[in-house]
């Protein structure tokens, strides 16, 4: 086993220990009634509730709904963002038209637009998907744009002198050169997409993890609150791990 692998293993061990320690502390603190049971239910009770939600299918239903919304929104945001970003990089007119909107939209708290989306698209999935797209598209546009602009001229000239046509250069040189940067912005967009979905569901209802979470809070069902937060955390971790895997598999060639 080489030293790098050994170190990753050690880190995994230590993380596992940290987590177990954390859970143990949680259980003890709750049982000892450091805080009222309403505020801090013991881990065992939360785990029990979690198991119940899994068994009766509510978790599966909520989770799949939220994830579906988030993923659709992200896919739209990525597709739209990449296309817009590339267009802006290639065409001065498009750049001039769209740039102020992007500059205004990027720092804006997109969450504030939830009521508009609800107004236009209702409280079901459509409004959530479009809101996610709205929230996630800006970083993708910006990332794609700067990646496309930064593709070294020498890359392009080399390709041209090796006999590629202009469109071929675009498809086979500029676009692939942008992949790492696009992927990085996608990685940033994913948590934003998840947050936006959950928040939109918390504000507007209409099913999904967020809606159940806020109902549980309103009815003081704290084990469900905790259980759902744990699930959201796990989902976030899984997504991140999956993306890191993907990155090391397919984008190894790019310097991180």
Which residues bind to other proteins, rule: CB under 8 A?
Answer: 2-4, 11, 14-15, 18-19, 38-39, 96-104, 106-116, 118-120, 142, 145-146, 149-150, 191, 194-195, 198-199, 202-203, 210, 213-214, 216-217, 220, 222, 225-226, 228-229, 232-233, 235-237, 239-240
Closest C-alpha to 117, from 139, 100, 132: 132
Spatial separation of the C-alpha atoms in residues 252 and 183, rounded to whole Å: 12
Spatial separation of the C-alpha atoms in residues 144 and 150, rounded to whole Å: 10
State which residue, 28 or 38, has the beta carbon closest to other proteins. Answer: 38
Spatial separation of the C-alpha atoms in residues 176 and 189, rounded to whole Å: 20
| ∠ Cα 79 80 85 (to 5°) | 105
Spatial separation of the C-alpha atoms in residues 53 and 61, rounded to whole Å: 10
State which residue, 217 or 247, has the beta carbon closest to other proteins. Answer: 217
Taking the complex as a whole, how short is the minimal distance between the CB of residue 222 and other proteins, in angstroms?
6
State which residue, 25 or 165, has the beta carbon closest to other proteins. Answer: 25
State which residue, 110 or 169, has the beta carbon closest to other proteins. Answer: 110
Taking the complex as a whole, how short is the minimal distance between the CB of residue 113 and other proteins, in angstroms?
6
Tokens 């309103």 map to which residue? Answer: 218
State which residue, 72 or 225, has the beta carbon closest to other proteins. Answer: 225
Give the tokens for residue 240.
């991140």
Taking the complex as a whole, how short is the minimal distance between the CB of residue 163 and other proteins, in angstroms?
28
Taking the complex as a whole, how short is the minimal distance between the CB of residue 191 and other proteins, in angstroms?
7
Q: In whole angstroms, what separates CA 228 from the centre of its chain?
A: 17
DSSP 215-235: HHHHTT-HHHHHHHHHHHHHH
Taking the complex as a whole, how short is the minimal distance between the CB of residue 172 and other proteins, in angstroms?
21
Taking the complex as a whole, how short is the minimal distance between the CB of residue 55 and other proteins, in angstroms?
23
Given a contact cutoff of 8 angstroms between Cβ atoms, the answer to whether 66 and 209 are in contact is yes
State which residue, 168 or 234, has the beta carbon closest to other proteins. Answer: 234
State which residue, 220 or 250, has the beta carbon closest to other proteins. Answer: 220
Spatial separation of the C-alpha atoms in residues 69 and 240, rounded to whole Å: 18
Q: In whole angstroms, what separates CA 154 from the centre of its chain?
A: 34
Spatial separation of the C-alpha atoms in residues 98 and 69, rounded to whole Å: 26
Taking the complex as a whole, how short is the minimal distance between the CB of residue 88 and other proteins, in angstroms?
9
């Amino acid at each position: 086993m080489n030293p790098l692998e050994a170190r990753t293993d050690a880190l995994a061990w230590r993380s596992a220990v940290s987590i177990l320690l954390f859970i143990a502390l949680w259980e003890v603190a709750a049982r000892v009634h450091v805080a009222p049971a309403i505020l801090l239910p013991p881990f065992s009770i939360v785990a029990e509730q979690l198991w119940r939600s899994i068994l009766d299918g509510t978790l599966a239903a909520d989770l799949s709904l939220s994830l579906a919304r988030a993923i659709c929104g992200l896919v739209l945001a990525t597709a739209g963002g990449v296309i817009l970003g590339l267009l802006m990089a290639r065409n001065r007119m498009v750049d001039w038209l769209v740039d102020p909107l992007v500059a205004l939209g990027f720092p804006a708290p997109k969450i504030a637009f939830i009521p508009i989306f609800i107004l236009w698209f209702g409280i079901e999935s459509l409004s959530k998907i479009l809101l996610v797209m709205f929230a996630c598209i800006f970083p993708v546009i910006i990332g794609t744009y700067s990646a496309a602009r930064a593709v070294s001229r020498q890359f392009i000239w080399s390709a041209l002198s090796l006999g590629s046509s202009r469109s071929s250069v675009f498809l086979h040189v500029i676009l692939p050169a942008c992949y790492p940067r696009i992927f990085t912005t996608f990685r940033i967009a994913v948590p934003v997409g998840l947050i936006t979905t959950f928040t939109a569901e918390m504000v507007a209802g209409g099913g999904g993890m967020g809606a159940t979470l806020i109902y549980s809070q309103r009815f003081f069902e704290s084990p469900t609150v905790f259980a759902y937060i744990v699930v959201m955390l796990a989902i976030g971790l899984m997504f991140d791990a999956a993306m890191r895997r993907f990155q090391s598999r397919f984008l190894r060639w790019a310097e991180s």
